[in-house]
Structure 1
């Protein structure tokens, strides 16, 4: 008889093989895998007592805590569906998602309860709100007190099928209402097996939760690090100081984050020079960094840099940038260029870059096409949205909306989102390439590039720039610098200096807000030059 590929198996394995091992550190509390399993059973029994059944949606609004981690397995044991919520949305966003998902229960951290309070009376299906770390003023159920009332030793699980939906994850919704991505147990299980191989996950690993568990490169952690009996370090508030402190105290060996967070760690390291004795792997998802950035991470921090690529709709990871054995002869500079790319397909993922006729682009690193994929990770579909599902998955291929090239070694390089490509005088310009050039300027801390109208060329690149502390540089100097680094048609034609760039909860720069800001101040931003 075949064993179904269901996620509860991962915690079961950890308990059998690593039951007495210290599995989770959360603030001052420490839990073994047996402790964690006991809390999971209490949660499952509590959920059943509240009437939660197989297929019901249960939502979580929480930072990286043991309560968030145990929520996955506690929900799965009932065959219910986890709905993790982005912690940086607005109350109106939560109102839409909770009602659209028809969530039955909501677990929320006390620090985030103020985002729910304004809309709680408008929640159509949420029957109860339970609060982690509840204070005396909050008029809801206290999680720890509630949990303590239920049996920790056992739970009579629902029968699960690997094609049952396990999680419902909502996309950012920058161009409309968020879409709920349905991922199955099979999606997440096979993704975990694939990812743990490519990231070389082992039982001796100590994983620091930097990316939120709701995030595209963060929610796999409860599965593949648990399956291997690794140790989880839950970090509720993420700052460069808290990250380095946790890494030193717990001998952290691996962590996932966005490029902007890693950039902040580099700035902190420059000033404070914290010392770490252990080997560290840092897994980066998001816009491809410039090769010089990769070199800095590996030389200054001494960490192994691993770039990955994926999206919510593919569970998420599909590509990885580690150097394959037949390319070890390349120079350090060439290796850094390769590591900065999205990478080559992971096991079980067929990823291609195709032109408008559906033909694969030439492997020359120049011809641009759309990235499409079919794999074990492709979502079941969008919840209650068959039209968008059919638009995104066509003839068995998921169309990502990302534009890329393929080099001679088969590495895919994401050059832009389809909507972020700048078309100037008929030439395609990658905003990511322009940003990479700007990051080489010694006075620039962060940069983001968008398209703006131009009378002669149709549109040209415009940069939003954050300068390093106590640095001064003019718009004309940055324009001249970009013209030195790039073909002139790719150089920026205007610069806006800002104190910070708008970012998602995971640190990804939100260009949609920069576009909106530009249009609100049209005619006042920067200066156009030919």
Structure 2
């Protein structure tokens, strides 16, 4: 058995199929995706990316507040054999630009709230076919702003829901493409490139592998001894490797539910 994050997800989807995994607050209350739903949706995202030409070891950035689609999207990136480049939402546009170009990212998952970090630097991104994977459905809200910066929404961007739709079609037609991609994942494959703050110079990209996260998550579980069905509020920014280890990935081992809150000041209304 390969010791990988994806193997952990597949096992969790079997052991905790109907257990809520990722949870976020909407206007109508808490919404969630079960372990089996995250497994299925990430299959569709991975299939879409493969069909769109994303290849093994390609880099895709993520710039968004914590949410269900953040986690599902990253699993999809990994299943396509690619590498996640999680970025802090506190970065300035020029800091985002450095990380995108330094990593050679071919696209970025972003939200309505973080689009303003990309628009001003669009013409400076070195990847010629760079794509925006828009995590919200209200893409029309950014069309006018996008056009001002030379971004063609119809060509350069796609919504997450559309990715799921097209990915599901691709997966059902050619499931072996994703299956083979997942089988090709090795323990020493890179999961994330996590950047340092760059306080004393240009930030460094720290490459963390499947086995890194597998070992750290299992060791953390041995230390914390969390019970099955535990629920946790994940306040840590998801671009942090620690949030991956003790939030996203450790949860797979015990069917833990993780809850996302955008701001600490939102606690009262998120009860």
TM-score, reference length from structure 2: 0.84
The structure with the largest alpha-carbon Rg is 1
* Structure 1, unaligned runs of 5 or more: 250-530
Would you say the 8 A contact 1:55–1:79 is kept in 2? yes
Superposition pairs of residues 200-239 of structure 1, within 5 angstroms: 200-220=225-245, 221-235=247-261, 237-239=262-264
Distance, in Å, in 1 between the alignment partners of 2:21 and 2:2 is 25
Distance, in Å, in 1 between the alignment partners of 2:260 and 2:33 is 11
Superposition pairs of residues 40-439 of structure 1, within 5 angstroms: 40-125=42-127, 127-133=130-136, 134-138=138-142, 139=153, 140-151=157-168, 155-158=178-181, 159-220=184-245, 221-235=247-261, 237-240=262-265, 242-243=266-267, 246=270, 249=271
Displaced runs of 4 or more, over 4 A: none
Note the alpha carbon deviations across 1:310-366, whole angstroms, 9 max, x for none. Answer: xxxxxxxxxxxxxxxxxxxxxxxxxxxxxxxxxxxxxxxxxxxxxxxxxxxxxxxxx
Would you say the 8 A contact 1:18–1:33 is kept in 2? yes
Match of 1:255 in 2: none
Distance, in Å, in 1 between the alignment partners of 2:228 and 2:180 is 27
State the superposition RMSD in angstroms: 1.7
Match of 2:4 in 1: 6
Deviation at 1:124, TM superposition (A): 0.7
Greater helix proportion: 2
Note the alpha carbon deviations across 1:93-138, whole angstroms, 9 max, x for none. Answer: 0111000000111111111100110001111125211111143132
SS in structure 2 at match of 1:59 = strand
Deviation at 1:245, TM superposition (A): 5.0
2:33 to 26, 31, 34: 31
Distance, in Å, in 2 between the alignment partners of 1:82 and 1:141 is 18
Match of 1:324 in 2: none
Distance, in Å, in 1 between the alignment partners of 2:119 and 2:159 is 15
Would you say the 8 A contact 2:32–2:68 is kept in 1? no
Greater strand proportion: 1
Would you say the 8 A contact 1:79–1:166 is kept in 2? no
Would you say the 8 A contact 1:212–1:218 is kept in 2? yes
How many residue pairs get aligned? The number is 243
Note the alpha carbon deviations across 1:28-85, whole angstroms, 9 max, x for none. Answer: 3221111111110110011101111111111100111011111221111122111000
Note the alpha carbon deviations across 1:248-278, whole angstroms, 9 max, x for none. Answer: x4xxxxxxxxxxxxxxxxxxxxxxxxxxxxx
Change (3 A) 1:102 1:142: same
Match of 1:454 in 2: none
